[in-house]
């Protein structure tokens, strides 16, 4: 298994202690300079953030689309990741997106523009700049 260019962008691999991850699985990542971090034993909530994101991704996106292949899946995942981090409100951050700039002034008199994203599945609304 060759991770190619993607291994350069990874510093850590956080995984649980499931038996399906063999020693050779870890060695592939370790050979690329990725540090393997295992979640604590008997700690079901240690992986909660990742599982919540995956659940949200499935409910809001993948369960509603027919994926035609790997290229289509990658396109959808990139678009959804951008939507999730740049536009979608998050409950833990006072209903603001993670990349929200609190110093940004919003003109409340500007018109609202709709933009379709994730192959038309999701509509984003923003005030015109």
Q: pLDDT at position 10, please?
A: 76
Per-residue pLDDT, 1: 45
The helix/strand/coil state of 37 is: strand
Structure tokens at 80: 């959804």
Residue 122 CA to chain centroid, in angstroms? 16
pLDDT at 84 (0 to 100)? 83
Task: Dihedral sign for Cα 24, 25, 31, 37, please.
Answer: negative
> How, if at all, do strands 112-117 and 35-38 pair?
unpaired
Say what the pTM is: 0.60
What's the confidence (pLDDT) of residue 71?
93
Domain boundaries, the chain: 1-38, 39-127
118 burial (CB, 10 Å; 0-12 / 13-18 / 19+) is: buried
Cα Rg, the chain, nearest whole Å: 19
| Closest to 79 in 3D by CA, of 60, 94, 51 | 60
SS3 66: coil
Average pLDDT of each block of 10 consecutive residues along the chain (129 residues)? 62 82 85 86 77 87 90 91 81 74 81 87 81
């Amino acid at each position: 298994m060759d991770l190619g260019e993607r291994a350069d962008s990874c510093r850590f691999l956080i995984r649980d202690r499931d038996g399906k991850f063999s020693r050779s699985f870890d060695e592939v990542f370790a050979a690329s300079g990725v540090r393997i971090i295992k979640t604590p034993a008997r700690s079901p909530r240690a992986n909660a953030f990742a599982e919540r994101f995956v659940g949200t991704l499935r409910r809001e996106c993948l369960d509603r689309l027919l994926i035609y292949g790997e290229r289509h899946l990658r396109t959808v995942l990139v678009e959804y990741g951008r939507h999730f981090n740049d536009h979608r409100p998050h409950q833990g951050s006072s209903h603001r997106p993670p990349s929200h700039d609190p110093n940004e002034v919003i003109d409340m008199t500007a018109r609202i523009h709709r933009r379709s994203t994730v192959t038309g599945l999701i509509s984003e609304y923003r005030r015109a700049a």
